[in-house]
Amino acid sequence: MAQNLFIDTEHSFKTYEVLKSHVNKIETDDIAEEVPIAFVYNGISHAVMLASPSDLEDFALGFSISEGIVENKSDVYGIEIIHQANGIELQIDISAACFQSLKNKRRNLLGRTGCGLCGAENLDQALRLPEKKIDSRFTLKESAIIKALESMSATQTLQKKTGATHACAWANEQGDIQIVREDVGRHNALDKLIGAMKKKDISDHGFVITTSRASYEMVQKTVMLGASVLIAISAPTGLAIRSALKYGVCLVGFARAPHYVIYSYAERLTRN
């Protein structure tokens, strides 16, 4: 029987007493929590992710959309959050058509904090290629990117407390950050952002910023959102670049104001 690790399903961080060597004394520190979160569709368990226990309705909707389980928020009839001793269940009620499609391609996976493909059962499942391509003539000014990057840090409340979380943000075409979601996992943070945007019907005339590297899956989720620009604070992978080229995403990496590197569709960014 698995040991009870006293999972805290209520809080995104908890304060612990720690010994800090540089001052050689006991002090308090805020530590990020991670919790097993199960996605259950129409009573059938589909996936378990380790994530921060916050913005769970956004997580449920965003994950459902980015994984292609549903196409729109109207396909989700209800979300119930059930706290248990060993984690959280997200009971998601979806349309009969979406549920039938899910059963046809159902797979079980265990998603860990640093990996978006852990648990895929075969190679076909590893690369969940979107069926759509971004058809966008949206152009973005360099000043908008720099403005958003300069204000990004101030929006990361959980990161400021713990130093252990990623953030994904949506900025409009003027560079104003409109919504931010944080999580111990970068993929989870993007799913939460997608869910929050879909709930609020935020326009797709803008761009995604992630405080992580740009992996293939971050590009894939950006495509499922319908966004045409992904800005990453760190480096992209080769697969991410090729995916961005294939699916019409302008991919920017090493974005630390005022510098950045454009890896695909450079013509969409204009200097002022």
SS3 content of the chain, % helix, strand, coil (to 5): 30, 35, 35
CB 18 within 8 A of CB 28: yes
The catalytically annotated residue of 98, 115, 118, 168 is 115
Does 115 participate in catalysis according to the annotation? yes
Q: Quote the radius of gyration of the chain (alpha carbons, Å).
A: 19
The β-bridge relationship of strands 269-270 and 140-141 is parallel
DSSP for 77-142 reads: EEEEEEEETTEEEEEEEE-HHHHHHHHHH---EEEBTTBSSTT--SHHHHS---S--------EEH
Q: Catalogue the active-site residues.
A: 115
